[in-house]
Amino acid sequence: MKKIALLTLNGYFNYGNRLQNYALQEILNLMNFKVETVINNNKPSKNKNYTFKERMNNIMNMTFRKMFIILKYKIWLKKNQNEIEKREKNRRKTFKVFTLNYIKETDYSISDNNIPENLSDRYDYFIAGSDQVWNPNYNLGSSIYFLTFADKHKRIAYAPSFGVSEIKPEFIENYKDWIFGMHKLSVREDDGAKIIKELTGRDAPVLVDPTLLLTKEKWLAIAKEADNKPKGRYLLTYFLGGIPDNYKKQIKSIVKENRLEVINLGNIREKETYRTGPSEFIDYINDCSVFCTDSFHGAVFSILLEKPFIVFERIGSGSMYSRIETLLNKFNLNSRKAENISWEEDVFKIDFSHVPEILEFERNKSLDYLKYALNIEGAN
């Protein structure tokens, strides 16, 4: 049996990361490959490294109310540092349990300064992706996710994301070389294909995130009900950049008028909910009445599980919106953007009847790419 090594982000804190890792592993297993995810010990940056100009622009564009909320939150973080560390530890523990149960990771790790000489010989192929493995703000310009340590004919990219709409000048030359060195190329969003074309002249197909390759039934098979899940109807939120001020009133109105409870995933102030793991994440979305989110994978699972959802542009991360726009355009669901919603009529009304046909086409396109890249007999 041939072996594949996956190179993706390894952090134990993000739902989308863990679930896309699992999905790609499972698809490759179904293709009769033995799959391992290589642990990368390079420490990714969780926060964007803003320039002084960008920081000043962010501050100038803030309302006094927003500044007050941020300051208040930072004071709360400072005052509750010990409790926050406990909550972070409990959350990581939940994510690690999921990983141990569902993802095969290597018993060794690599980093820029520690790559075994024979690593390329251990596997038949290396796949970089999905997730934002090519985001220079996360990987700090590391070449590991471009698989430069492997023989060129073994280097495959499956739907990696840049997470930005353009590459900063200090990374351009390296990115050109590293992308040229990839044997088979694909990306996850339209901006990524544009970046590759501009840097190298190469065309890269835009493929769906690995999570979309698994069926609803496959996902529900690993879903798990959270201990503190409401018994009645609830509105679910998962915001990585905070709820936009101009939409808080509408969300509160939905809750009040429909007598819904509220579950805020990813909010560290809510102790029990913050512990929610990837399996519970799936179940929460599957049973909610409506899901409000600025998360790409939040939108993905809403589509897979056919749940009413509203997607918002993430505060302070406009460049990341490209991947959500690509997703919504692909599935003809731009009506689910917050700015396009009729808050009186459309919140719970959503037509998914056209989605299965699109999903089947995109799955076949992605699977055909993988079969071709992996030299599976019969592939085009």
Integer Cα distance of 367 and 379 in angstroms: 10
Longest dimension (CA), the chain: 63
The answer to whether residue 64 sits within a structural domain is no
User: What DSSP character marks residue 353?
Assistant: T
Integer Cα distance of 320 and 325 in angstroms: 9
The answer to whether residue 127 sits within a structural domain is yes
Whether 116 and 197 share a structural domain = yes
Whether 132 and 100 share a structural domain = yes
The answer to whether residue 122 sits within a structural domain is yes
* pLDDT score, position 47: 47
* pLDDT score, position 357: 98
Which H or E element spans position 356? helix 355-373
- Sequence-distant (6+) residues with CB within 8 A of 18 are 12, 95, 98, 99, 103, 278
For the chain, what is the total number of helices (H) and then of strands (E)?
A: 15, 9
How are beta strands 290-293 and 234-238 bridged, if at all? parallel
288-347: pLDDT as tens digits: 999 999 999 999 999 999 999 999 988 766 556 788 998 999 999 999 999 999 998 899
CATH value at residue 183: 3.40.50
The answer to whether residue 161 sits within a structural domain is yes
For residue 251, the enclosing domain spans 223-349
Integer Cα distance of 243 and 293 in angstroms: 8
Whether 112 and 227 share a structural domain = no
Whether 277 and 197 share a structural domain = no
Whether 304 and 230 share a structural domain = yes
Whether 171 and 233 share a structural domain = no
Whether 234 and 165 share a structural domain = no
Whether 107 and 136 share a structural domain = yes
The answer to whether residue 254 sits within a structural domain is yes
Whether 205 and 274 share a structural domain = no
Whether 179 and 254 share a structural domain = no
Q: How many domains does the chain have?
A: 2
> What string of DSSP letters covers 37-94?
EEEE-S---SS----HHHHHHHHHT--HHHHHHHHHHHHHHHHTHHHHHHHHHHHHHH
* pLDDT score, position 138: 81
pTM for the full predicted model:
0.91
Whether 364 and 345 share a structural domain = no
Residues of the chain below pLDDT 50: 46-48
